[in-house]
Amino acid sequence: MSGDKSMAVIKGYNALVGGISLILETGRSEAAWCLNSIMSAVYWEIGRRIVEFEQAGRARADYGERIIEQLSIDLRSRYGRGFGRSLLFQIRAFHLAYREKVQTPSGQSLNAKS
């Protein structure tokens, strides 16, 4: 092959690039979908644990708010940003809204570890 020939003129090269591009785009799309599914199951399980903890204490609303506040402090100290009070209240509400859902295998494995 001479140096003056571009790769695009080699027969089948454009198909190679197109096929690889399709694999990458499909993989990225599937990875995003899987990650969203996993994080939904994780947040649902976190919400379930918060609700069950609150209900086990038959807590009044202000006690529940203090639990969320302390949980936010503790999770942020372990994992950094991303566990503010408002997110924890949303996670709790997410579980309450979908508490009857059929649990995914990943959610079941989370239960087995607890």
Does residue 16 lie within any of the structural domains?
yes
**Overall number of domains in the chain:** 1
Alpha-carbon distance 96 to 90, whole Å?
10
Does residue 2 lie within any of the structural domains?
no
Q: Is 96 helix (H, G, I), strand (E, B) or coil?
A: helix
Does residue 28 lie within any of the structural domains?
yes
The alpha helices in 1-114, defined as continuous H runs, are 13-56, 61-79, 85-97, 105-113
Does residue 105 lie within any of the structural domains?
yes
Does residue 1 lie within any of the structural domains?
no
pLDDT of residue 2: 45
DSSP 58: T
Residue 58 pLDDT exceeds 90: no
pLDDT of residue 66: 85
- Kindly state the helix (H) or strand (E) to which residue 70 belongs, with its residue range: helix 61-79
DSSP 33: H
Q: At 78, which amino acid appears?
A: R
Does residue 63 lie within any of the structural domains?
yes
Q: Is 59 helix (H, G, I), strand (E, B) or coil?
A: coil
Alpha-carbon distance 37 to 5, whole Å?
47
Q: Could you tell me how far CA 20 lies from the centroid of its own chain?
A: 27
Alpha-carbon distance 2 to 87, whole Å?
60
pTM higher than the cut 0.75:
no
Mean pLDDT of the chain: 82
Average pLDDT, stretch 1-24?
78
Does residue 62 lie within any of the structural domains?
yes
Does residue 3 lie within any of the structural domains?
no
